[in-house]
Structure 1
Amino acid sequence: MFLSQITIENFRKIQSLNLELNKGLNLLVGENDSGKTAIIDAIKFILGTHSNDWLRLEKDDFYSADGKTYATEIKILCIFKNLSEDEAAMFLEWLSIEDSNYYLKLTFKAKRKENSNSISEISYDIKAGEDEESGVVSGEARNKLKVTYLKPLRDAEYELAPRKGSRLSQILANYDIFQTEKGEKHPLVDIMNTANTYVNTYFENDGKEILKKINDEYLEEFSLVNNGVKSKLDISPNELGKILEKLELKGFSKIEVGNLGLGSNNLLFIAAEMLLLKGSNYTGLKLSLIEEIEAHLHPQSQINLIDFLSKQSEKLGIQSIITTHSNSLASKVDLSNIIICKNGKAFSLRKSETKLNAGDYEFLRRFLDDTKANLFFANGVIMVEGDAENLFLPTFAEFIGIPLHKHGISIVNVGSTALLRYAKIFLRANSTKGVLDIPVAVVTDLDIKPRKYFEENTVEKKMYKITDTNINTIKTQFNVLSTIDFSSLLGIEYSSKSKLESDFKSLIPKDSKVKIKAGEYLSALLVPVDFNLDTLPDIMANVLQDRQFEDQKVKYFIGTDWTLEYLLGLSCLKDLFYEAILTAKLLQKSDDFDFNDDEYREEIKRINQKANGEIASWEELETTPEIAYKLYWEIMQGMGKNKTSKAIVAQCLASLLEREKNNQSLVSRVKKDQHLKYLIDAIKHAANVQS
């Protein structure tokens, strides 16, 4: 039996939510106040917890759109499926049937009546059955539906310590080896009785002085003659439940002596809770709710834990609903187990719910690491294909007055042209059920070289396209690539064979032994298409049009010429761009520069003067495209032979923009520059800022 579906209406920030859950692991991700805890608490209200956590509905638990007017009714509905025969027998009078399969429907309804003094009277009931009015669920049946709950700020050491009603004693009491028939003694009772005998014997002999003082010197004086009081020392009543309350679960490290820290104690506590759910005699719902599972755990322990839960959940028959803010955890879990929470809505990434195809899921399983998983926790996302954009855009955004961190925007550096595969995470298969309200801006280059390049390199006056036939031939030649989806490359015209080969190889796993050979094989298959230089503007316009993409909240923003760097050379930032190139070349020569050293400062001043002077002289003699070509291709890329790092240039340019942040004249020109417009529009889209 597992919780298959939950529907929530008018609970906290959730106005209406319908969520289908996985049988095993469900990982709730999202920014703060997105609704993760509301989902967990809704389940706790309707099902209760094994630890009998105290729950009380307040007025604030009723949905309010404006903080003034509150809903008057909360409804939480749970549907349980895959009931075994034994489980079905426990809930027989409330069961429903669908396609010859039993399911259990539980409905929680709370009503709020506001008195004239503005104090709310709140009542609720829980009923079972298809029509929601079939009948009240018995206490015994409800006990079988309780969940295991681990709160976010849990005190694991306290929970596992000996005390009356300790959590550890509750867990152990439900385990099969602590179940006894009526009138039967558990072995632990005999053990404790034996220990008690030894304790009594000790205080009757070696320790008798203590009892003598208590009885003769004090109690005899305190008590009445006709009602004398005596005492003895022994172990408290040896009922099994009392014995279990005296037990403490302590952990120890194989490499360190002493008490465990918070992280290790949390692992110990989770292990104890798993013991309850795994108990062979436990026949109820095996559902664990864990908030902020990463609490007190370092990243490697987080990964080990989530890996266990991910692989073992269904095997052990345990369903888990877990919340997290950890990039590491989100990147290690199968995408289909993730549920993104946003604005009181929940969006499952199961295969039937998104526009990702089977190949996309396989690709993302390999390449979605923790540096990219921050997209699950963002208000907006900007996806880029390289380090240069990743390093430059945050400073550029701040320069134009839209700081990314203030708008909760994450930049995801995909490191390849497989941008749409990541973007489709946010696209719903059926948008009528709701759209994920996270704007995604995909920033990419046009990657068509300018006329001057082809005039100087007549041999390369060709375009390249990958075809279905090429892909099928490669998959036949290399069987290990048969499951990889290369469709994102289809229809794209490349002016560089090496760029097409690079994009092709980026879709193949890094550890694949055929990666290089497959790239070379593709290169041999490609048939170049000659073109007339006079048609280059039409080709560029067609490619720009073909690459446009907008669906739901995902939108492409494509540079209008060659690359980001070439466009910077065309823009009003060309002088700063040249200064950044020269600074990057200086830094690449040596790692020993002290940025506070007078010699370095003098060199930077010389570079500034050189850049400004040469740009001014070039502008008198050359066109802007010629200057851009000179800056990017000839100086920065060394005609393809002596390249300056794009990443270092981007870092240097970001520093120079920071220097010019109070130059309002430059800020104004940047905002109006058509060559930078695609970057500005991408940032505005991700930030939900109107143009």
Structure 2
Amino acid sequence: MHLSKLVIEGFRCFNEKAEIPLNKGLTVILGENGSGKSAIVDAIRLILNDDEFGKSMVSERDFWHSFGESKNESSTSFRIDIEFSKLKPVEQVAYLPWLKTEDLSTASLHLKVQNKTNQNKHYKKELWGGNSSSSSFEWDTYKSIQCTYLPPLRDAEHRLRDVRGSRLARLITKIEPENSAKERLVETVKQNNQQLLKDELIVKAKTNIKSRLVETLGEKLAQDISISFSDTRFERIIENLKLLFYPFLDDSTSIDEFRELSENSLGYNNLIYLATVLAELEDVNEQEISCKILLIEEPEAHLHPQLQTKLLEYIEKQAKLKGVQVIVTTHSPTIAASIDLDNILVVNKTELNRSPVIVPLTNVGLTPKQKFFLQRWMDITKSTLLFARGIILVEGIAEALVIPELAKRVLHKHLASKDRISEYSLEEYSVSIINMGGIYFESFFQLFINAEKRGEGIPIRCAGITDCDPDKDSTPYNGKECDCKNPALKLKTKINNSKYCRLYSNLKTFEYDLALAEGNFPIMANTLLEIIETDGPTKKQIKEYIRLFPDAPVSEKAKMAKYLLDKIDDSNICGKGVFSQQLAYKLANNEIEFSVPEYIEKAILWACKLEGDGGNKGGESNTVEKSNE
């Protein structure tokens, strides 16, 4: 059996009823800060009474409170419901009162808390299993569900320290709970104590203390004393054990070379702590009736990217092999990029006083081919799209380098009249630029295109910027467009009818359209001149075009823009990557006027939620499609 569904209503940020599906093995919950990830984890902790920090107490902050004009409004109660699926026959017998009458392989557990306290200042809680709240509740059945919570930025050293209830002590108890094992360990300690008492140093210390007692109190009032290596009770023996570390694996290392955890790194202590918890949970008795759930918040804490990846790979493997259900929350794009898309649950903040939108990526309609493609291409830079509030998809490195600088100019132009404190940038709007390295728009758009149906797409704006790509020798301009050869443009009608997706295109290519925009050609031509090392005919021609461009007719300007594009595209002269890097540097570090083509401007404004226009092709004379918003 496994926890398959969580339903929350009135709890924390979930004022509206929200259903959250959970995987049998690993579920990774992604989302920006404040999106509701911790609320999901805390709801599970509350209804299952996790064992990490004792009983959870309900507080006023657990009830939903509104923001804005109705800030005093709050939920009169909150309710948390969970379902367990695929119960085996033996589990169905054990959880009989919890079973759903319409499906005996499914059990349910419910918690309802009223927003009013009794005379002891405790909120009234009602916990029941199955369909009826009046049925008897078996606490032994409830306690058989083992829920363990690992908090973010946990103090691993403290939890592993030789104290009462340490993780190491719990693990040892779990491994061999039989009396024979306890007796064996106790007998070993007793023998060590006997040997200790025979040591000359210990005998002398004992004699000295005893003599002082006799001198002080006399033989009639004095008490006898002894010295012991350790308490011989099993519980105290294991609580006095402590973990040590050595920085490398080496079976020949002497115990004297191991060091205290206080000398270890925070990241590795976290890993040791997590390994101890997993070892405890993985020791599953096949006959045991129990559901084991591990909740981990931000496992990336103090870990470098390679360790993050290795850790999640291991957790996912163990979840499948050992029957431990693992639910993880994270902000790490490294983790997001390293796991199967079917394991990802995206939590997205929406309008004020609305519950977060929960989007399992299994629900967004990816075809097997699209899923395979995204999985192979989901590196760290692309996985940021799962955390952003807006997305701009681009074809290559040139757009990825230059468009952030163009965005600063677009945002300044549209917002300069407003009082500003922060800088104008895509980062301020949490908009990520995703370089796809090609024209693979359809697979990426599929993540967002169905978001109008709650839970079937990620509800953030995704704008694509692509080239028209007509014949190589063509020189289009406004009023003389060319036939586009880019197959991605076939998506335009489908994409632009969506509330969350738009595709914007140009006259020819990115650099060509930049050069045709007012005032840009001399800046781009001079940038290329700075890169060209030889003083030959190419330089001479570019300098001539710089002189002629301002007064040339538009048809001639188009030919000059094509010449510039050809030279930029020629790897023997420059190359698009080198040119775009130099241009981006110049735009970022010099206060120069630089025009932004309309198709790029519209994509930026739309992704930042500053404009509702649809996609269009070409320059300013083209008709703009209005969105359905």
- Which TM-score tier does this pair reach, normalised by the shorter chain? 0.7 to 0.9
Match of 1:244 in 2: 238
Relative to structure 1, the CA distance from residue 639 to residue 408 in structure 2 (aligned partners, 3 Å threshold; closer, same or farther) is closer
Partner SS, residue 381 of structure 1: strand
Task: Return the letter of the residue paired with 1:345.
Answer: P
Partner SS, residue 178 of structure 1: coil
Pairing 1:180–2:179 present: yes
Task: Return the letter of the residue paired with 2:492.
Answer: R
Q: 1:547 Cα deviation (Å)?
A: 2.7
The equivalences for 1:199-598 within 5 A come to 199-202=196-199, 206-218=201-213, 221=216, 228-254=222-248, 259=259, 260-281=264-285, 283-343=289-349, 344-351=355-362, 353-400=363-410, 401=412, 402-428=424-450, 431-433=453-455, 436-449=458-471, 452=474, 547-548=492-493, 549-550=495-496, 552-575=498-521, 578-587=522-531, 589=533
Task: Return the letter of the residue paired with 2:20.
Answer: L
Does the CA-based 8 Å contact 2:568-2:576 persist in structure 1?
no
Partner SS, residue 547 of structure 1: helix
CA distance in 2, matches of 1:222, 1:112: 63
Match of 2:549 in 1: 618
Q: 1:539 Cα deviation (Å)?
A: 6.5
Q: 1:535 Cα deviation (Å)?
A: 10
Match of 2:254 in 1: none
CA distance in 2, matches of 1:560, 1:625: 17
Which range moves more in the overlay, 189-198 or 24-33? 189-198
CA deviations on 1:47-67 (whole Å, 9 max, x unpaired) are 122334452222122112215
**TM-score, normalised via structure 1 length:** 0.75
CA distance in 1, matches of 2:30, 2:247: 32
Aligned length: 573
Q: 1:545 Cα deviation (Å)?
A: 7.5
Does the CA-based 8 Å contact 1:581-1:636 persist in structure 2?
no
Q: Which of 601, 604, 617 is equivalent to 1:683? A: 604
Q: CA RMSD in A?
A: 3.4
Relative to structure 1, the CA distance from residue 588 to residue 217 in structure 2 (aligned partners, 3 Å threshold; closer, same or farther) is farther
Relative to structure 1, the CA distance from residue 83 to residue 242 in structure 2 (aligned partners, 3 Å threshold; closer, same or farther) is farther
CA distance in 2, matches of 1:639, 1:153: 49
Which range moves more in the overlay, 255-264 or 287-296? 255-264
CA deviations on 1:305-334 (whole Å, 9 max, x unpaired) are 111222332222111101111111111101
Relative to structure 1, the CA distance from residue 212 to residue 6 in structure 2 (aligned partners, 3 Å threshold; closer, same or farther) is same
Does the CA-based 8 Å contact 1:112-1:121 persist in structure 2?
no
Partner SS, residue 507 of structure 2: coil
Q: 1:589 Cα deviation (Å)?
A: 3.8
Match of 1:637 in 2: 566
Does the CA-based 8 Å contact 2:2-2:84 persist in structure 1?
yes
Task: Return the letter of the residue paired with 2:196.
Answer: V
Does the CA-based 8 Å contact 2:449-2:501 persist in structure 1?
no
CA deviations on 1:593-631 (whole Å, 9 max, x unpaired) are xxxxxxxxxx9xxx9x998984453332x3224313322
Match of 1:108 in 2: 111
Relative to structure 1, the CA distance from residue 635 to residue 250 in structure 2 (aligned partners, 3 Å threshold; closer, same or farther) is same
Q: 1:646 Cα deviation (Å)?
A: 1.9
Q: 1:452 Cα deviation (Å)?
A: 4.5
Match of 2:416 in 1: none
Does the CA-based 8 Å contact 2:2-2:24 persist in structure 1?
yes
CA distance in 1, matches of 2:488, 2:185: 78
Match of 2:415 in 1: none
Partner SS, residue 179 of structure 2: coil
Match of 1:122 in 2: 123
**TM-score, normalised via structure 2 length:** 0.82
Match of 1:143 in 2: 143
Match of 2:3 in 1: 3
Does the CA-based 8 Å contact 1:336-1:348 persist in structure 2?
no
Q: Which of 73, 76, 87 is equivalent to 1:69? A: 73
Q: Structure 2: where are the runs of 5+ without partners?
A: 251-256, 350-354, 413-423, 613-629
Q: Which of 557, 560, 564 is equivalent to 1:627? A: 557
Aligned-residue sequence identity (percent) comes to 28
CA distance in 1, matches of 2:475, 2:178: 83
Relative to structure 1, the CA distance from residue 683 to residue 135 in structure 2 (aligned partners, 3 Å threshold; closer, same or farther) is farther
Q: 1:365 Cα deviation (Å)?
A: 1.8
Q: 1:431 Cα deviation (Å)?
A: 0.9
